[in-house]
């Protein structure tokens, strides 16, 4: 993927940072977006020290104009944008019978609204017949996870939006897909829930951010051109055994 231009939202840490690291290692020129400008620059500087072509692109993508403006700015600079990976997320834990509408609305604004706000811009800035848009979802979009109702609803809506955008952008040759994962390994060996899920995972451990980043890179490959509107599950087989 040498020379391709990528923008990754929500990328100063965790899964998003792993995606930036993978794309940079694959030869992409990567713009690292995060709401925290200092955090974005710190993360970008660390990856540059390792040889990656990474630039901080701070901004709160929950605001309607931010993601479209970022995309247009990159297109003005580079001619077009090859890859957009939407990793930004917010989680307010709550029970389904004790909803907090304001917090639910915020989780939706971070997980789903950015791609809605950018929808009209995508066909104008993405590489024709080569552009890749990838959203990051989770198992909570389809399964009931304790205290996860807010983000679960948002991720379900995100996957639906991926399908609609995949059809709408197909005539331009831009491929829209998603990756979905279960609980991510945060390195806390003392967490009993993580230990239980790791034991139930057929592949023998929890999913790591790097596993998801690898799947994102696969969807960015030329060979993935004919995949449209798909949600690729990256969980080591956990979803297959319930």
Select which of 22, 31, 108, 148 is catalytic. Answer: 148
Any catalytic annotation for residue 164?
no
Tell me if 156 sits within 8 A of 163, measured CB to CB: no
- How would you label 53-83 residue by residue, b for 16+ Cβ within 10 Å and e otherwise? bbbbbbbbbbeeebbbebbeebbeebebbbb
d(CA 211, CA 18): 9
Tell me which residue has tokens 């552009």: 131
Q: Specify the 3-state DSSP secondary structure of 61.
A: coil
Residue with tokens 């592949």: 203
* Helices 101-111, 149-169: inter-axial angle, 10-degree rounding: 30
Contact 10, 16 (CB under 8 A): yes
31, 108, 132, 155: the active-site residue: 155
Catalytic residues: 148, 155
């Amino acid at each position: 993927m040498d020379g391709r231009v990528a923008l990754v939202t929500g990328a100063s840490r965790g899964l998003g940072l792993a995606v930036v690291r993978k794309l940079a290692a694959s030869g992409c020129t990567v713009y690292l977006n995060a709401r925290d400008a200092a955090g974005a620059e710190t993360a970008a500087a660390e990856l540059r020290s390792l040889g990656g072509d990474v630039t901080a692109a701070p901004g709160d993508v929950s605001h309607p104009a931010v993601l479209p403006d970022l995309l247009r700015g990159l297109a003005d600079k580079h001619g077009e944008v090859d890859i957009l990976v939407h990793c930004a997320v917010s989680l307010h834990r709550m029970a389904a019978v004790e909803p907090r509408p304001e917090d639910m609305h915020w989780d939706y604004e971070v997980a789903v609204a950015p791609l809605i706000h950018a929808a009209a811009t995508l066909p104008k800035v993405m590489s024709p017949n080569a552009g890749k848009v990838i959203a990051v979802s989770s198992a909570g979009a389809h399964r009931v996870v304790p205290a996860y109702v807010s983000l679960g609803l948002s991720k379900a809506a995100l996957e639906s939006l991926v399908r609609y955008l995949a059809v709408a952008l197909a005539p331009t040759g831009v491929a829209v897909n998603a990756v979905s994962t279960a609980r991510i390994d945060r390195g806390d060996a003392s967490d009993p829930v993580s230990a239980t899920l790791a034991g139930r995972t057929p592949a023998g451990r929890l999913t790591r951010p790097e596993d998801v980043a690898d799947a994102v890179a696969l969807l960015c490959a030329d060979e993935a051109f004919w995949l449209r509107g798909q949600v690729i599950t990256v969980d080591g087989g956990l979803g297959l055994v319930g």
